[in-house]
Amino acid sequence: MNNTQSTELIFELSKSGRRCHRLPACDVPATKPLSALIPQAHLADAPPPLPEVGEIDLIRHYTNLSARNMSIDTNFYPLGSCTMKYNPKRHERLAALPGFANLHPLQHDDTTQGMLELLFEMQQFLAEISGLPAVSLQPAAGAQGELTALYVAAAYFRDKGQTHRRKVLVPDSAHGTNPASAALAGFETVTVKSGPDGLVDLNDLKAKLGDDTGVFMITNPNTLGLFETQIKTITDLLHSKGALVYLDGANMNAILGITRPGDFGADMQHYNVHKTFTGPHGGGGPGSGPIAVRDFLAPYLPAPTVVKDGAKYKLNFDAPKSVGRVRSFFGNVGILFRGYCYIRTLGPDGLKEVSQQAVLNANYLRARVAEGFTIPHPGPCMHEFVATARMPELRERKITAKDICKRLLDFGFHAPTVYFPMVVAEALMMEPTETESKETLDAFADALLKIKAEDPEVVRTAPHTHIVTRPDEVKAAKEPILRWTPEK
Ligand SMILES: *Cc1c(COP(=O)(O)O)cnc(C)c1O
């Protein structure tokens, strides 16, 4: 990162009369004055106060702005739980092929057979990888996948006359979207504690499990990067009470081709195609959160799904028990497309290797970080691990997890996920993914260890090389200023 980037706003560069380009004079004769065509009330008194700049200034302005962000193409990005792996550029080339890119979702099935075939196969791949046979590609994010699956569960219980199953159990280490989805779907959430080992506390689960339990939402490996070794006992327990098990499959990166949620007892799961299967993300979308469910839940999936009828692919709207549509058209097809390319490129053996390498990288980084930081839960880890900045030597010098993350920016690294999961104080959650080299992991670990020993004042006032340093995140979220307004 350099700090020579222009901080000037495009409005400050404005000089009256400057233009990027000039249009020729209008050669269509005006038959009527504008005021006769548009009601006076809708006509502006004066032109809008837009910046007046030359083309080169405009290009420099936007190019400089674009270079201010960190991205997976520019920096190591170990954002835990978010799986910021490299997004192969080949996928972009393929997704841009005109035969795919120029399709319109309202075209007749006969003219979209190639895309339908791709989506049909994607459904099959996701069914195979999860061990859950019925798939909906519609949800446009992991969170929406959770919500959709809970709608499916609610419809199933309604159908069976079990509307008393009002509760959804969620471990305290879960992603915040889990309880939010449960509440939005009309359930009441009940938190299940984790034990000191970071795994679901079985006794607490048993105490909270009842005839009113509808669904247990579990993340496995969990957000501490630990595999829930009791998973089969847990799913059997839930099933013995007639409840369903939901697997938050946002991060399948540790288990692809190694184990399957359907095999360890999950009844439903979502995927994050934009995490595990390399859909580009990190700037707020677009996402893709398809869900996979057991046979007996298939009738409730959103319609349409893609089906094969003889040699022809078509969209099936004939689903009387469906929870209905959760997104326009067929989901985020562009992201599903990239995920499809990824799965086809790697094949079953390649996907398994992805997970093996992701777990190896995480354990290597874990060992390096442990040279200077406490990692509260025992290893080995799966695709990620959680360290803590709640250490006496950091506390004495008043250095927080946030300070460390801000300082990492000066070293050219994106921050890990911070203050999540909530079960670890001053959490630093790191997920290196399989696409990083040993050299990068070493450089990152070295930076962390160096920051820990630095002058606390330097760390507390970081970053020193960025234009935006420590914005008020709560204010930014609560009172976003999303457009420029001219000064009065
Ligand atoms: C990212 C994530 C989600 C939510 O996915 P979105 O696409 O951001 O809605 C849910 N659970 C876990 C564990 C995640 O990491």
CATH topology of domain 350-475: Aspartate Aminotransferase, domain 1 (3.90.1150)
What separation in Å is there between the alpha carbon of 83 and the centre of ligand 1?
10
b (16+ CB within 10 A) / e for 358-383 = bbebbbbbbbbbeebbebbbeeebbb
CATH pick for 89-346 out of 3.40.640.10, 3.90.400.10, 3.90.950.20, 3.50.50.60:
3.40.640.10
Shortest-distance Cα residue to atom 15 of ligand 1:
81
Distances (CA, A) of 160 to 168, 293, 357, 391: 17, 17, 44, 52
The arithmetic mean of pLDDT across residues 61-68, rounded, is: 87
pLDDT tens for each residue of 354-375:
999 999 999 999 999 999 999 9
Closest ligand 1 atom to 83 CA: 15
The pLDDT-based confidence of 65 (bands split at 50, 70, 90) is confident
Answer left, alpha or beta for residue 248, where phi above 0 means left and psi between -120 and 50 means alpha: beta
Looking at residue 131, its pLDDT comes to 98
Ligand 1 pocket test target in 150, 248, 268, 336 with most atoms within 8 Å of CB: 248
pLDDT of 484 > 80? The answer is no
The arithmetic mean of pLDDT across residues 215-239, rounded, is: 97
Output the CA torsion 219→224→230→232 (10° steps). 20
The arithmetic mean of pLDDT across residues 6-23, rounded, is: 81
What separation in Å is there between the alpha carbon of 278 and the centre of ligand 1?
14
* DSSP tag of 24: P
Ligand 1 pocket test target in 272, 275, 326, 430 with most atoms within 8 Å of CB: 272
Closest ligand 1 atom to 287 CA: 7
The arithmetic mean of pLDDT across residues 124-146, rounded, is: 98
pLDDT of 134 > 90? The answer is yes
> How many helical (H) and strand (E) elements, i.e. helices and strands, does the chain have?
15, 12
pLDDT of 4 > 90? The answer is no
Closest ligand 1 atom to 174 CA: 13
The arithmetic mean of pLDDT across residues 68-81, rounded, is: 93
Pocket of ligand 1 (CB under 6 A): 81, 141-143, 175, 177, 219, 223, 248, 250-251, 272, 287, 289
The pLDDT-based confidence of 2 (bands split at 50, 70, 90) is very low
Looking at residue 159, its pLDDT comes to 97
398 or 283, which is more confident: 398
> Tokens 């354990």 label which residue?
363
Shortest-distance Cα residue to atom 8 of ligand 1:
142
234 or 285, which is more confident: 234
The arithmetic mean of pLDDT across residues 300-314, rounded, is: 97
Looking at residue 67, its pLDDT comes to 85
Q: What residues does each domain of the chain span? A: 9-67, 89-346, 350-475
Shortest-distance Cα residue to atom 2 of ligand 1:
250
Closest ligand 1 atom to 143 CA: 9
The 3-state secondary structure of 183-203 reads HHCCCEEEEECECCCCCECHH
CA distance 339 to 91: 8
pLDDT of 325 > 60? The answer is yes
Ligand 1 pocket test target in 84, 175, 278, 335 with most atoms within 8 Å of CB: 175
Closest ligand 1 atom to 223 CA: 13
Looking at residue 13, its pLDDT comes to 86
Looking at residue 385, its pLDDT comes to 98
pTM to 2 decimal places: 0.91
Cβ contacts of 385 within 8 Å, gap of 6 or more = 224, 225, 362, 363, 365, 366, 369, 375, 377, 379, 429, 430
In this structure, are residues 225 and 382 in contact, taking their beta carbons and an 8 Å threshold?
yes
pLDDT of 3 > 80? The answer is no
What separation in Å is there between the alpha carbon of 4 and the centre of ligand 1?
36
pLDDT tens for each residue of 373-426:
999 999 899 999 999 999 999 999 999 999 999 999 999 999 999 999 999 999
What separation in Å is there between the alpha carbon of 248 and the centre of ligand 1?
8
Shortest-distance Cα residue to atom 14 of ligand 1:
250
Average pLDDT value over all residues in the chain: 94
Closest ligand 1 atom to 219 CA: 13
Per-residue DSSP letters for 384-445?
Answer: -EEEE---HHHHHTT--HHHHHHHHHHTTBPPPEES-STTSTTEEEE---TT--HHHHHHHH
